Chains A and B, each alone.
Chain A
């Protein structure tokens, strides 16, 4: 059974600080996805990481994937209040991307002024 573990599950930080969210998974998949979810809303795709060593950046967020360690990180640089949300990592197992995603429990991020 595929397991996806995120930590921390809750993070309160101040604006301007840096922090990293970690996502470990148990399968040999080389595809990992990061999503953002605001309260009461659906999932917004942030990053799709498709190979070992993949690194993607968008604004203050940067995601990386180490398939050998089965680890992905989401790094937040100089956090701002607008980044407050819940962040999920997710993994799929199938070779063709057809069996759906297994999600981590999510990291509830609060950024305080």
Chain B
């Protein structure tokens, strides 16, 4: 089945140690998104790629970066994780212009910072 896959499901990292989260998709969607969801809060958009064009949300900290080497893969890099970055990170995809398909979310990566 076509889907959005996030690895790993759980990630534990040390305070200040760079960490990378991975997302891949088999839907051939041209837009990929990263959301951060802290405990008991709504998901918050960090940034997205429209094809190769990177779009950063205005309030996303500089500590968060992203890469999209090809259509299928997108990575979230946290350069120096702090305790406040512990959260569920959700990757999503969409096909711009095909509204009826909506957005497809991956299963998420839960990040713990120790």
Bound Cα distance A40, B112 (Å): 13
Contacting B at CB under 8 A, from A79-102, are 88, 94, 96-102
- Which residue of B98, B100, B103 contacts A101 across the interface (Cβ within 8 Å)? B103
Bound Cα distance A40, B97 (Å): 31
A-chain residues with CB within 8 Å of residue B88 when the two chains form the complex: 42
Most B-side CB within 10 Å, residue of A40, A48, A88, A101: A101
A28 interface residue, CB < 8 Å from B? no
A103 interface residue, CB < 8 Å from B? yes
Size of the B side of the interface (Cβ < 8 Å), in residues, is 29
Bound Cα distance A43, B42 (Å): 11
The answer to whether B90 touches A43 (Cβ under 8 A) is yes
**A-contact bits for B31-64, CB 8 A (1 contact / 0 none):** 1010100000111110010100001000000000
Question: What are 14 contact pairs spanning A and B, CB under 8 A?
Answer: A35-B105, A40-B110, A42-B106, A42-B108, A50-B99, A88-B42, A94-B96, A96-B96, A97-B97, A98-B96, A100-B33, A100-B45, A104-B42, A105-B41
Bound Cα distance A101, B41 (Å): 15
Most A-side CB within 10 Å, residue of B92, B100, B105, B110: B105
Indicate the size class of the contact surface on chain A: 20 to 34
Contacting B at CB under 8 A, from A43-77, are 43, 45, 48, 50
What is the interface of chain A, defined by CB distance below 8 A to chain B? 31, 33, 35, 40-43, 45, 48, 50, 88, 94, 96-106
How many A-B pairs have beta carbons closer than 8 Å: the answer is 63
With A43-B90, A100-B48 given, is the CB distance from A50 to B106 under 8 Å?
no
B102 interface residue, CB < 8 Å from A? yes
Contacting A at CB under 8 A, from B70-96, are 88, 90, 92, 94-96
Shortest C-beta distance, A90 to chain B (Å), equals 8
With A42-B105, A43-B90, A105-B42 given, is the CB distance from A99 to B99 under 8 Å?
no
The answer to whether A96 touches B55 (Cβ under 8 A) is no
Bound Cα distance A41, B96 (Å): 26
B-chain residues with CB within 8 Å of residue A94 when the two chains form the complex: 96
Which residue in chain B gives the minimum CB-CB distance to A98?
Answer: B96
